[in-house]
Amino acid sequence: MNLKFIWTKLSSPKKKTVTALASLKAQFINYLVELGASNAQQYTAWKLKERLTKHYSDQLVCVTLYGCTDIVCSSSVTLGDALKKATALQDANDDGDYEELVSTAQAEPVNENPILHTAAGILRKHMADIKHATGVYAPAEDTNIEQYAKFIPDAMYDFIQWCFSEKSYTNITSCSNEGASKSNLKTIAKCHDIISQNQNVYTAKTLDLALKVHHEFGSKNIIDLLHSLGHCVSYDEVRRFLTSAAIDQTSRSEDVYIPKRLQNPRVIDDYPIIDGAIDNFDQNEATLDGKSITQAMAAVLFHRGASSE
């Protein structure tokens, strides 16, 4: 499309050097209609602004005015002059042009995708700056809500909190404000889930939740289901942690028996997951005299590794 038409409107000495984006859009649509464009009415002000700024680069300046349309001017106009002109347009309607641009701007639905895309980019940048400890698990003292909260960037916490809380959204409450803090467990949990999925790593919350479920229910299926929904680590990661915790515990105590094969550091490093199975064996559970009964329990450890030839 010929954008020179728009630039002529801005640079001609007989025309205003400061005008409104919505007014330009209306004129441009009329120009497209005259050229016979069938979809001219679908052309948005945001798209026009994007193409103008890209095409003319530093020759064009756009001033964003919240609540109404943007102001567009040539680079020779100072920002102060542009704002003064914007005020004059609002106060005096500039011979009816401003009334036209306001009605045009209100009739056109706002394209929210660029705003959402920008917000996502900001959050992704903050998540990329998070430092993750690799090769080690967080100490027990870090498994609390205060440490969970410190892990989350302030901008991300505020955004998620505004999505959840009507009060925080209405008052624009930030966790960096005096009297405000990162105390909402639901917001903290959602932030950890998003960070975990974005960075493809586990966080303290996603690991702790899986360990809690394993301790309470011992169910591989429940853990893997929660993992598939992005709420916690996988069952295999739980087993790695438990094996790591067991190795750490036995290294601190000489009174714990460990089978020789499981003491080999090279084997443990190559295949760190150890599974256990426990079952009871009962025979003659009840006799007349209470003697000659058998009640036994056996435990078996399975060490994952390469199959032996």
pLDDT tens digits along 206-262: 999 999 999 999 899 999 999 999 999 999 999 999 888 887 877 776 776 666 666
**What's the DSSP call for residue 287?**
-
CA distance 163 to 15: 45
Q: Tokens at residue 78, please?
A: 């100072």
Convert the pLDDT of each residue in 119-165 to its tens digit: 999 999 999 999 887 778 877 777 888 899 999 999 999 999 999 89
Least confident of 1-5, 104-108, 253-257: 104-108
Chain centroid to CA 285: 58
- Reduced to 3 states (helix: H, G, I; strand: E, B; else coil), residue 206 is helix
Report phi then psi at 257, rounded to 5. -80, 135
Do the bridges between strand 60-63 and strand 71-74 make them parallel or antiparallel, or are there none, so unpaired?
Answer: antiparallel
Percent of the chain's residues with pLDDT above 70: 72
Contact 168, 187 (CB under 8 A): no
Confidence tier at 79 by pLDDT (50, 70, 90): low
CA distance 151 to 199: 13
Q: Which residues belong to CATH 1.10.10 in the chain?
A: 4-111
CATH architecture of 4-111: Orthogonal Bundle (1.10)
Q: Which residue has the higher pLDDT, 184 or 67?
A: 184
Contact 302, 274 (CB under 8 A): yes
CA distance 16 to 114: 29
